[in-house]
Amino acid sequence: MENENLEQFLNKVVLGNCIEGLQKLPAHSVDLIIADPPYNLSKGSNLHFERSAKLNGMGGIWDKRMLNWDNMPFYEYWQFTEAWLSEAKRVLKKNGSMWVYGTYHNIGVVNVIMQELGIEIINEIIWYKRNAFPNLRNSRFTASHENLLWAHIGNAKSREYTFNYEKVKNGRFPEDSLKKYGKQMRTVWDIPNNKTSEELKYGKHPTQKPLRICERIILASTKEKDTILVPFCGSGSECVAALKLDRHFIAFEIDPVYVAVANKRIEQEGANKKQICLEASI
């Protein structure tokens, strides 16, 4: 399949399988990838529910249906992860980087496959969620963090990825009790997982990320006008954050319900930016 022109995908949420979508993008064409893949919480157990369920190790009641995308036998999940990471490596620029979310359910698979593909891990970030759900069964410690792997396609002799060191060192992050102004940002981020009413205005996704963590990732590892790839768009938090920070995005989402939610949020952000520009010109 020949690669299609990148321009037709810019600032759009494309409905479809992300692997097929990635195959249409030119090699070395995006500056940053933010991936929030399925965590495979049920691991092929054929668990199905219509409204809510208690998921072991995830702290509380999750309102979601366990769909096929989050319910794969281990070998299928391995193949799926290998396939999308291979394409992610192909489309990432030499000086770009990627961030991948996960928990203990899947982050080990992502880590090993990255090493297998020659993707060098720069850092592992622990996202501490001080307002995490309690463990309702009282059978284990409360799950209060997620993992992020920050990686690039270079090696020890060729580390060209963007890192805005001064911005994260001297930036102000009032929500983070661990980050002190003028001090190096560490690998544990204290970022509340609560979303504002504006973020949930058009609906929510079961693994929706707050804008504040998306914005931090983008500020740390891109420049203005860079292009950010979002393979698993969900409700579009990364896309909204990209627009707020004057970046472009390309997004793929397999569920039409969430494509609609993401598009409404993106349209609202565009309206907000136009209003800000109009007011500034008066």
Q: What local confidence, expressed as pLDDT, does residue 271 receive?
A: 66
* Higher pLDDT pick, 4 / 101: 101
C-alpha 69/C-alpha 59 separation (Å) is: 21
Band of pLDDT at residue 55, cut at 50, 70 and 90: very low
Residue 156 is which amino acid?
A: A
pLDDT(54) > 90: no
59 confidence band (pLDDT: 50, 70, 90):
very low
**Of 28-42, 62-76, 88-102, which gets the smallest average pLDDT?**
62-76
Q: How far apart are CA 128 and CA 104, in angstroms?
A: 14
Q: What is the per-residue pLDDT for 81?
A: 97
Strand partners, 82: none
169 backbone dihedrals φ, ψ, rounded to 5°: -75, -45
Sequence-separated (6 or more) residues with CB below 8 Å from residue 2: none
N- to C-terminal Cα separation, the chain: 50
- Residue pair 120/153 in contact (Cβ under 8 Å)? The answer is yes
Confidence of residue 58 (pLDDT cuts 50, 70, 90): very low
Tens of pLDDT, residues 255-281: 999 999 999 999 998 767 655 444 443
| Alpha helices, H only, the chain | 18-22, 74-91, 107-117, 165-170, 211-221, 237-244, 256-280
Write the CB contacts of 69 (distance below 8 Å, at least 6 apart in sequence): 38, 254
pLDDT in tens, 200-247: 777 777 788 999 999 999 999 999 999 999 999 999 999 999 999 999
- 72-76, 129-133, 146-150: segment of lowest average pLDDT: 129-133
pLDDT at residue 96 greater than cutoff 80: yes
Average pLDDT over residues 142-170: 92
pLDDT of residue 42: 59
67's CB contacts (< 8 A; 6+ apart) are 255
Instruction: Provide Rg for the chain, Cα atoms.
Output: 19
What share of residues in the chain are helix, strand, coil (percent, to 5)?
30, 20, 50
Closest CA to 84 of 173, 19, 154: 19
Q: With contact defined as beta carbons under 8 Å apart, do 43 and 68 qualify?
A: no
pLDDT value of residue 63:
41
Residue 64's pLDDT is 43
Average pLDDT over the chain reads: 85
Residue with the bigger pLDDT between 111 and 155: it is: 111
Ordered by where they begin, the domains of the chain are 7-280 (3.40.50.150)
Q: Would you say residue 199 has pLDDT above 90?
A: no
Which pLDDT belongs to residue 61? 38
Gap between the Cα atoms of 171 and 168, Å rounded: 5
Arithmetic mean of pLDDT, 142-148? 94
What confidence tens digit (pLDDT) does each residue in 99-109 have? 999 999 999 99
